[in-house]
Amino acid sequence: MATDCLFCKISRGEIPCQQQYQDDQVLAFYDINPKAKTHILIIPHKHIPSIMSLEEGDEKIMGHLIRVAQKIGKDLNLVGYRLQFNVGERGGQVVFHVHLHLMAD
């Protein structure tokens, strides 16, 4: 984990969040600046700066992010939702720790 990364600090519990889900690989929490009625961020505990920084073997954690999104959707009885990755600054990424947005109106 990167010591100065905002999402690493949240993952370590150094910064509080409104947690929705956690397991040994990921943490899901509500976005503090939501862009939808339901806006949850799903992050790996492992610090991965961007999709562009993925290494061999990271596909397992990336697939797990999507499975967790599916679980959260079911748990919240969402009838539809959007999943979004922003990749790189030009792609709208603001926090450089991979995160999956789950959004529903």
Other beta carbons within 10 angstroms of residue 70's beta carbon come to 12
Query: For the chain, which residues make up each domain, given as ranges?
Result: 6-98
Residue 66's pLDDT is 98
CATH superfamily of 6-98: HIT-like (3.30.428.10)
pLDDT at 1: 61
pTM greater than 0.85: yes
Render pLDDT for 1-60 as a digit per residue (tens, 0 to 9). Answer: 667 999 999 999 999 999 999 999 999 999 999 999 999 999 999 999 999 999 999 999
The pLDDT of residue 23 is 98
3-class SS of residue 63: helix
45 labelled catalytic: no
CA distances (Å), origin 13, targets 7, 27, 39: 10, 10, 20
Determine which one of 39, 47, 97, 99 is catalytic. 99
Determine the pLDDT at residue 96: 97
